[in-house]
Chains A and B, each alone.
With several copies, the nearest count.
Chain A
Amino acid sequence: MKVLYFAWVRERVGKTEETVEPPSTVATVSDLIAWLSQRGEEYAHAFDRPSVIRAAIDRMHVKQDTAIAGAREIAFFPPMTGG
């Protein structure tokens, strides 16, 4: 699946997007955050306060307990500050 990063999550991870293949034990958005956090210091830094991270699956806002099965595109970003 494709993973996208925005704002300071993007800056900390150091990339705008990537394709990842997490093991099947990674079932929810929250699992994916924990799994990504293990991939290196930059990820650990980006996700060091998981509770503030917002997520979208296929361009819809989701809560972190949402299942990721079937997702094509998952995005992580801080709380939005548009408008």
Chain B
Amino acid sequence: MTIPVTIRLQEVDFDVAREIAAMTRGRKDVGAVVSFSGICRSDEMDEGGAIAALTLEHYPGMAEAEIARHVDEALARWPLTGVTVIHRFGRIVPGENIVLVVTASSHREAAFQGAEFLMDYLKTRAPFWKREERDAGNRWVEAHDRDDSAAARWTKS
């Protein structure tokens, strides 16, 4: 049975429920579905005020290819029965979705591990860049060291 993989980059929001429901449609071997939704926060004040919006820039062509490479790696490492990755680009206001990862498997460990792996890699390897709009102006978000260490834990030693 082929493993359904969906990768989409889009400006519009996504429907988490539909993506989760798609994981079990027509299958009897799905016992666990994990979803991760990444959402635009606005609670952290800095000298520029609160975040009014994020704008996500991406590298078309490479972004899809890079996500596909990591989905393939996830499928090779865990017995997944389905994977969906949706990443938005463009302007996103607080409370809106940014990214969705949904993984399905017969067992919960694989679904959890696959989703965490994909999120860690999306953070550090997918060619997307966030720019914050605050009252005082716009600023590119800086990469976090903790995201690099999160991604590094999946490297085979």
A and B interact = yes
Q: A20 near B: Cβ within 8 Å?
A: no
Is there an interface contact between A83 and B61, defined as CB atoms closer than 8 Å? no
**Stretch in A3-11, A30-38, A39-47 with 4+ CB within 8 Å of B:** A3-11
Is there an interface contact between A4 and B129, defined as CB atoms closer than 8 Å? no
Is there an interface contact between B140 and A56, defined as CB atoms closer than 8 Å? no
Please report the C-alpha to C-alpha distance between residue A82 and residue B125 in the assembled complex, in whole angstroms.
Answer: 8
- A79 → B minimal CB distance (Å): 4
Interface footprint category on A? 10 to 19
Q: Is the interface of B mostly helix, strand, loop or mixed?
A: mixed
Q: Give how many A-B residue pairs fall within 8 Å (CB-CB).
A: 74
Q: B38 near A: Cβ within 8 Å?
A: yes
Is there an interface contact between A77 and B140, defined as CB atoms closer than 8 Å? no
Instruction: Identify the closest chain B residue to A10 (Cβ).
Output: B57
| Chain B residues positioned under 8 Å from A60 (CB to CB) | 62, 65
Instruction: Identify the closest chain A residue to B38 (Cβ).
Output: A83
- B105 → A minimal CB distance (Å): 14
Is there an interface contact between A80 and B125, defined as CB atoms closer than 8 Å? yes
19 CB contacts below 8 A, A to B, read: A6-B127, A8-B129, A8-B140, A59-B59, A59-B61, A59-B62, A60-B65, A61-B125, A78-B143, A80-B123, A80-B125, A80-B127, A80-B128, A81-B129, A82-B99, A82-B122, A82-B127, A83-B126, A83-B147
B residues touching A (Cβ–Cβ < 8 Å)? 38, 56-59, 61-62, 65-66, 87, 98-99, 108, 119, 122-131, 140-143, 147
